[in-house]
Structure 1
Amino acid sequence: MIAMGMDRPPTGHDVELAARAASGDRRAYGELVRRHGSAVRGLLRRLGADSATADDLAQDAFMTGFEQAAEYRGEGTFGAWIKKIAARLYLKKVKREARLIFSDNLEPVEDLSVRDTPADAASRIDLDEALKSLSRGERLCVSLCYGADWSHAEAGEALNIPIGTVKSHVRRGLDKLRAKLARPEEGARREAHG
């Protein structure tokens, strides 16, 4: 006799699945990983991690999330909660490797991330390419504030920089992104109206 429902993934709202995970239900947590894994890896890549590092840090973030599942109370989305864990892990890694250099100067700094292969680059969306044109400070601040849904104060505290610097990085980064992403649209409109 075949047991009904044994092979189907658990269903329910993220809050319910997290509560089940907090009581040890690995299948429920596996469903949360399935639902949010690609978004977490995407955030990590946008912060500056290469694909392999993003995969490793996402796995670490989900392991930490499973261990701390009881702390998730559903006050925000599970996706935002796990992204915060992932972003903190990324920042710890960068700081540990002494690769994070900040100053009030907003000039671009050398990109120390591993370069993607042509096949990886072809699969990226325009936003990923546009983010690579930002300085490291702008990229981290924009990705933390918009990708991980951190406040300016949270980003400043995590990066150990003044909130005004975070706001400057975000403002200038967003301006650069708008300009960079608007260019392809303008070209396409000109070709269409030829």
Structure 2
Amino acid sequence: MGIERPPTGHDIELAALAAAGDRMAFGELVRRHGSAVRGLLRRLGADSATADDIAQDAFLVGFEQIADYRGEGSFGGWIKKTAARLYLRRVKRDSRFVLTETAEDSAPIALDGPGATADRMDLDEALKILSHAERLCISLCYGADWSHTEAAELLNIPLGTVKSHVKRGLDKLRTRMASPSGRVSNDSARRENLG
């Protein structure tokens, strides 16, 4: 009697097997997409432990609702949307959900520290220069592959506000990437936040 190996194949095939009750097929989907889901949650603002908890919850929900996945988009995108919804519900429940910027939100975060080098740009570090609202909207629209309309509906804010947060955030990220050191100086970041 040999060791049973996890199934291989395309995510759509694995999802179909999982919908038919194959737990190993779903386990393979978790293995393939778990890291990306946790990464998205951290980019949305979750600490590592919370990201792990919510990712686990998202995969449990995904397992329960796997029959609803029709392969009309990537499995990764589908499970990331589930994780993002769970994260936003938790944040709203914990009463920490505020999408209006305060002076503290718009102030740049120092990007000097362990692991920061001039030669390597880390997306997680780059996102720290954004306000909470900008980071959330960019992470939903680009990390979770949501449309601006979907993000506006989920966040319960006007579509134009989502578009503004995304545009301002992308402008800040472009400026950071264009600087020789990959860092935004406090003076230039403050000017961006005022402009």
| TM-score between the two structures when normalised by the length of structure 2 | 0.83
Matches within 5 A, 1:10-89: 10-89=7-86
Q: How far has the Cα of 1:144 moved from its partner?
A: 0.1
Distance 2:32 2:130 in 1: 29
Amino acid at match of 1:138: E
Counterpart of 1:129?
Answer: 125
Residues 1:186 and 1:136: Cα distance change in structure 2 (over 3 Å): closer
Kept in 2: contact 1:108–1:136 (CA 8 A): no
Unmatched runs of 5 consecutive residues or more in structure 1: 112-117, 188-194
Q: Secondary structure at the match of 2:30?
A: helix
The 8 Å contact of residues 18 and 29 in structure 1, kept in 2 or not, is answered as yes
Contact kept, 8 Å, 1:153 with 1:163, in 2: the verdict is yes
Structure 1 segments, 4+ long, off by >6 Å, are none
1:164 paired residue number: 160
Report what 1:175 is aligned to. 171
**What is the percentage of aligned positions where both structures have the same residue?**
70
SS of alignment partner, residue 105 of structure 2: coil
Shift of 1:107: 5.5
| Alpha-carbon distance change, 108 to 186 in structure 1, aligned in 2, over 3 angstroms | closer
Q: How many residues align?
A: 175
**Distance of 1:170 and 1:82 partners within structure 2:** 22
Question: Judging changes above 3 Å, is the alpha-carbon distance between structure 1 residues 107 and 144 closer, same or farther for their aligned structure 2 residues?
Answer: farther
Give me the TM-score of the superposition, normalised by structure 1. Answer: 0.83
Question: Please, which moves more after superposition, 175-184 or 64-73?
Answer: 175-184
Aligned residue identity for 2:160: G
Q: CA deviation at 1:181?
A: 2.2
Find 2:148's aligned residue among 127, 152, 176: 152
Residue of structure 2 in register with 1:92 after alignment: 89
Q: Give unpaired runs (5+ residues) of structure 2.
A: 108-112, 184-195
2:41–2:84 Cα contact (<8 Å) kept:
yes
2-structure distance, mates of 1:110, 1:172: 11
Once residues 179 and 50 of structure 2 are traced to their aligned partners in structure 1, the CA distance between those partners, rounded to angstroms, is 31
Q: Deviations over 1:118-159 (max 9, x none)?
A: 87x67x962101111111110000000000000001000111
Residue-by-residue CA offset, 1:55-75 (whole Å, 9 max, x unaligned): 110000000000000000000
In 2: Cα distance, 1:23 partner to 1:39 partner: 25
Q: For residue 100 of structure 1, report the CA deviation from its aligned partner.
A: 1.1
Structure 1 CA distance for aligned equivalents of residues 95 and 174 of structure 2 = 31
Partner Cα distance (2:78, 2:28) in 1: 16
